[in-house]
A and B are shown apart, each in its own frame.
Chain A
Amino acid sequence: MKDTAMPILIVEREMSVRLFLIRLLESNNFQPILAENAGEALSVIKSEGIKLVLCDWDSEDDEALTLCRRIRSEMGQSYVYVIVQSIQSDKDAIITAMEAGADDFVSKPVNAHELLVRIKSSSRIIELQQQLVSRNRTLEFAHKRMSDDYDQLTTELMLASKMQGNLLPDPKELRNTYATWMFKPANFLAGDMFDYFMVSDNLLAFYVIDVEGHGITSALTSFLVDNMLNPSRDGLCRRMLENSIDIRAAVINTVTELNKKFSNSEMYTRYFSMIYGMINTDTGRVTLTQAGHPFPIRYDASNACTQMIGEGGVPVGILPDVTYDAVEFELNAGDRLYLYSDGVTECMSPDGKMFETPRLQECIGQWHATEVEDVHTEFERVFRRWNGDSKPFEDDLSLICFEYRGTESQLGSVKNYGI
């Protein structure tokens, strides 16, 4: 029982019973409040926050039943416990009162002890009900806060995803070379990232990375790498080109430098696979370092065949002191070079089949029939269909294609200086 006396509303016409009830309640530390009729009772219940009503059911009229019904229909969440007292004590009367909304039934003449016991039991129920209401309120509040936070997080992620999309280069012609791509993040944010840009009059630098896992940490790592390489920011590509004896050394030194940064620092928790390289747009000569990223595929236009490039290599940031190497080969006019993340070859069909490298090679052969400016629509079509159209991809997919359009004819030989 609470410290302050619990108010109990008495709706009783008979004076003697009223006085009896007032005395009984007062001597047991309750606070009796009186109401003449159902209408007054309802307004007192609302204004005083009454939780317990003792209501007389006269055999003459059904006002008590009306009060019960109105309490049930008008009091909503705030539960009011109603004990009906009546001289009618047969089963039918009890059922009628209960059906109207009464919680308990006491036959008249009222036995003081019995009534007190019933009031005490009702106050236990009222207390429990109040605890439930207050817990519900707390839960509703917490749920609202969580769903607000979740909505905000989703909005933030969508914005970040847009930003990440904006960091990607447009498909475009870069001095005799056309670059295009397909990019499908598994979540809002991807761990895959790529870029291409001219680092000198005739050198097109490019990189693709795939950070372990996907999501926020992976995306942040890919932002960091982009920030280091991009010529408009840290410009590691250009610095290494200026400080190295030749292109091959510049490519190797750039990846080696990244590996030093990412494997020695406590701050970086994710490693990534990468291909970094350059295309000499005058000659079609490509120099690239493969650091754990899937094997680039060259499409040889004159012989209409594909060729896997490279010997593999250690991903960046997984081990310190790694010695990297580079592969060099020529692209002839019309040849294409494809770079892709493992999300492409490991893309699952709805019936659980992986896309795999041979199928990619086959597609690359077919894609040659499509102009390079339009070929990204073919990429989309093939992978959407493979994935079963609507479902999200399990891993980030990035597929980049360069077409070399050199004017002079070059030798198609592949020299491999890799390990």
Chain B
Amino acid sequence: MAFETREVEDVTVVSPANRRLDAVLAPKLKELVAELVADGNNKIVLDVSNVEFMDSSGLGAAVAALKIVGGPGDMAICGASGLVADLFKLTHMDRVFTMAANEEEAVVKLAS
């Protein structure tokens, strides 16, 4: 599996199993989120705490996922650090997504 998913309350947390979120995983992430939403899971947290490198395709997939879910009220990014955090800042995507330090904070932010 390219991604692990787990349910926390009414939120689905998606974690890439790989340390790189790039062109290889990007289409799979889009597909997975589309499936989750189709199954009625419409609050998603993308947990990138294990991701060390994310390229433009990875970022594109995260934004595509955000559009599928509906908006920043329904999707959060948690655990971004290092190069991944830099990429979100550079592209101002930290202002587009709900950003959280960890899973618990992300779940609280999506619930409120």
Verify that A and B bind, or say they do not: yes
Give residues in A with beta carbon < 8 Å to B: 210, 212-213, 270-271, 273, 292, 294-295, 312-315, 318-319, 342, 346, 395
Report yes or no: B60 in contact with A314, Cβ–Cβ below 8 A.
no
**A292-B91, A318-B63 are contacts. A210–B96 as well, Cβ < 8 Å?**
no
Q: Which residues of B contact A315 (CB under 8 A)?
A: 56, 91
Bound complex: CA A319 to CA B72 (Å)? 13
Bound complex: CA A273 to CA B90 (Å)? 10
From the candidates B53, B56, B59, name the one contacting A210 in the complex (CB within 8 A): B56
Report yes or no: B56 in contact with A314, Cβ–Cβ below 8 A.
no
Nearest chain A CB to B92's CB is how many angstroms away?
A: 5
Report yes or no: B56 in contact with A312, Cβ–Cβ below 8 A.
no
From the candidates A213, A292, A294, A319, name the one contacting B57 in the complex (CB within 8 A): A213
- Closest B residue, CB atoms, query A312: B90
Report yes or no: B90 in contact with A294, Cβ–Cβ below 8 A.
yes
9 tightest A-B contacts by CB?
A212-B56, A292-B91, A312-B90, A314-B92, A212-B60, A318-B63, A312-B92, A213-B57, A315-B91
Bound complex: CA A312 to CA B55 (Å)? 16
Bound complex: CA A315 to CA B96 (Å)? 12
Bound complex: CA A294 to CA B89 (Å)? 11
Q: Which residues of A contact B63 (CB under 8 A)?
A: 318-319
**Counting CB contacts under 8 A, is B25 at the interface?**
no
Nearest chain A CB to B87's CB is how many angstroms away?
A: 9
Bound complex: CA A287 to CA B91 (Å)? 19
Q: A312-B90, A314-B96 are in contact. List 17 more A-B contacts (CB 8 A).
A: A212-B56, A212-B59, A212-B60, A270-B60, A292-B92, A294-B90, A312-B92, A313-B91, A314-B91, A315-B91, A318-B59, A318-B60, A318-B63, A318-B91, A342-B55, A346-B53, A395-B55
Give residues in B with beta carbon < 8 Å to A: 23, 53, 55-57, 59-60, 63, 89-93, 96
Q: Which residues of A contact B55 (CB under 8 A)?
A: 342, 395
- Closest A residue, CB atoms, query B95: A314
Interface of A is mostly: loop
Which of B23, B63, B91 has most A Cβ within 10 Å?
Answer: B91
11 A-B pairs within 8 Å (CB atoms) are namely A212-B56, A213-B56, A273-B56, A292-B91, A294-B90, A312-B89, A312-B92, A313-B92, A318-B60, A342-B55, A346-B53
Q: Which residues of A contact B56 (CB under 8 A)?
A: 210, 212-213, 271, 273, 315, 342
Bound complex: CA A312 to CA B89 (Å)? 7
Bound complex: CA A312 to CA B91 (Å)? 6
Bound complex: CA A212 to CA B56 (Å)? 5
Which of A295, A319, A346 has most B Cβ within 10 Å?
Answer: A319
Bound complex: CA A312 to CA B90 (Å)? 4
Q: Which residues of B contact A319 (CB under 8 A)?
A: 63, 96
- Closest B residue, CB atoms, query A218: B56
Bound complex: CA A273 to CA B93 (Å)? 13
Q: Which residues of B contact A346 (CB under 8 A)?
A: 53
- Closest B residue, CB atoms, query A294: B90
Q: Which residues of B contact A395 (CB under 8 A)?
A: 55
Which of B57, B92, B93, B96 has most A Cβ within 10 Å?
Answer: B92
Bound complex: CA A295 to CA B91 (Å)? 11
Nearest chain A CB to B64's CB is how many angstroms away?
A: 9
Nearest chain B CB to A219's CB is how many angstroms away?
A: 15
Q: Which residues of A contact B57 (CB under 8 A)?
A: 212-213
Q: Which residues of B contact A294 (CB under 8 A)?
A: 90
**A210-B56, A212-B57, A271-B60 are contacts. A314–B93 as well, Cβ < 8 Å?**
yes
Which of B56, B57, B60, B91 has most A Cβ within 10 Å?
Answer: B56
